[in-house]
Amino acid sequence: MKNSNLIITGARIVTPLGRTARKGKDMNELFDEYGSIEITEGKITYVGHDRPHLPEGYQVIHADGKVVLPGFVDSHTHLVFGGFRPDEFIWRLNGDTYMSILQRGGGILSTVKATREASPSSLRNKTEWFIHTMSQMGVTTVEGKSGYGLDRDTELKQLEVMQSINFDPIRKVDIVPTFLGAHAVPTEYKGREDDYIDFLIREMLPLIKQRMLAENCDIFCERGVFTVEQSRRLLRAAQEMGFGVKIHADEIVSFGGSELAGELHALSADHLLHASDAGIRALADNDVVATLLPLTAFTLREPYARGREMIDSGCAVALATDLNPGSCCSGSIPLTFALACIYMHLTVAEAITAMTLNGAAAVNRADTIGSIEVGKQGDLVMLDADTPNVMPYYTGMNAVERTIKGGRVVSHRE
Ligand code: NIG
Ligand code: FE
């Protein structure tokens, strides 16, 4: 990344502090003071009171009391895919269900067909369009999953698109790649789910490791997709090879995915719309980030995850968009904030922690991003407002004025 020198003066600096996820009531504690932030060659070198003299060689932004937050970390997306599925959305409006569409060979499997057919350059162009939009909403790091290939070449193609964007020296976001080969059972393996898991363990994981194409491994642990036992087998093998692990857990029914995430000390368990009390306890006790995706509950007309109860039980909660072509074709950060505060009863401070430091922890990067502290990457968001409360209050509308990545302004609304 091309890094820069930047000083922001007169800012209202609002940030969680730390290099690990904040759990329970600590999520509500934010540093909130007026002052300056200095970024030198891409890293934060000073946070504190405004100083009388500014050093030479820095771009200077006078914030005039506007809020500066850490760059947002969208820690759960499926942003590389072929085609779209607007018809399915209409079917669901008319009463069809997400799982019945998948069981008929549509849903994820219809995006698999489109992604297999798509050229790498068309996938890259589309991904860059998403990134551009996310950057305008303050995202500086995004997790991206494969899982629309379900075969060797297409899974690699998706991961290579993410890698090629990460190689761009003037990129707007960093992508943290996750291997989600176990997103659905490919038609070729129908009825032979265990053989497919074997293929992922024996062929795909070693290849992806060797080519450094993904940092984490994820699975859709759900009734009618992969069982808890299959999930355990894949994720244990992934851990042995050095991958961090994540689980799509308890999204459609209560299925034991949260409990498994606790057992494996996973980085995160995601969705959790139907997580059991024991599952929530397992996440809190084992330092698994509970990643909540309220946009998906909203678009699927499902009840929201029990975010308030999770925090009150001592969990570290992260918020993410789940951007994907099926269950949730939205990457809206402002709407995510609004739904989290209105329906899951998070405070604004908790939602900020969830979208920054805890999102960073969910992708294993809390030591380098997710807060405004000396030594961390210079990834910031400046709001066009003097209070962070606009994040949920401007419901679905963008309060971000500038997004700063590694000390460079990458998005600026005049
Ligand atoms: O997180 N549930 C599984 N995966 C995605 C949806 C993917 C799709 O429908 O294309 C999710 O909701
Ligand atoms: Fe997902």
HEC string of 384-413 equals CCCCCCHHHHCCCCCCEEEEEECCEEEEEC
User: Does position 1 have pLDDT exceeding 60, yes or no?
Assistant: no
Residue in 329, 263, 393, 256 with CA at minimum distance from that of residue 77? 329
Distance separating alpha carbons of residues 134 and 333, to the nearest angstrom: 8
Please give the number of the atom of ligand 1 that sits closest to the Cα of 107.
9
| Closest residue to atom 1 of ligand 1, CA basis | 322
Q: Which residue has the tokens 């990067």?
A: 365
Nearest ligand to residue 147 Cα: 1
The pLDDT score that the predictor gives to residue 338 is: 98
| 146 pocket-lining for ligand 1 (C-beta < 6 Å) | no
Buried b or exposed e, range 108-147, using 16+ CB within 10 angstroms: bbbbbeebeebeeeebbebbbebbebbbbbbbbbbbbbbb
Segments making up each domain of the chain, as ranges:
6-70+370-412, 73-362
Cβ partners under 8 Å of residue 354, min gap 6: 27, 292, 317, 318, 319, 340, 346
| 35 pocket-lining for ligand 1 (C-beta < 6 Å) | no
Give the CATH fold of the 73-362 domain: TIM Barrel (3.20.20)
Q: Give all strands of the β-sheet with 72-74 in edge-to-edge order.
A: 72-74, 139-145, 174-182, 216-221, 244-249, 268-271, 289-292, 316-319
Please give the number of the atom of ligand 1 that sits closest to the Cα of 252.
2
| pLDDT averaged over every residue in the chain | 97
Which CATH class name applies to 6-70+370-412?
A: mainly beta
Q: Classify the C-alpha dihedral 218-224-228-233 as positive or negative.
A: negative
User: Does position 3 have pLDDT exceeding 90, yes or no?
Assistant: no
Q: Which residue has the tokens 């949730």?
A: 328
| 88 pocket-lining for ligand 1 (C-beta < 6 Å) | no
Q: Classify the C-alpha dihedral 87-193-230-204 as positive or negative.
A: negative
Ligand 1 mutation pick, 87, 102, 248, max ligand atoms within 8 A of CB: 248
Please give the number of the atom of ligand 1 that sits closest to the Cα of 184.
3
Query: For 298-310, what is each residue's pLDDT tens digit?
Result: 999 999 999 999 9
Query: For 355-366, what is each residue's pLDDT tens digit?
Result: 999 999 999 999
Predicted structure pTM score: 0.98
CA 294 to ligand 1 centroid distance, Å: 13
Query: For 89-98, what is each residue's pLDDT tens digit?
Result: 999 999 999 9
Query: For 71-126, what is each residue's pLDDT tens digit?
Result: 999 999 999 999 999 999 999 999 999 999 999 999 999 999 999 999 999 999 99
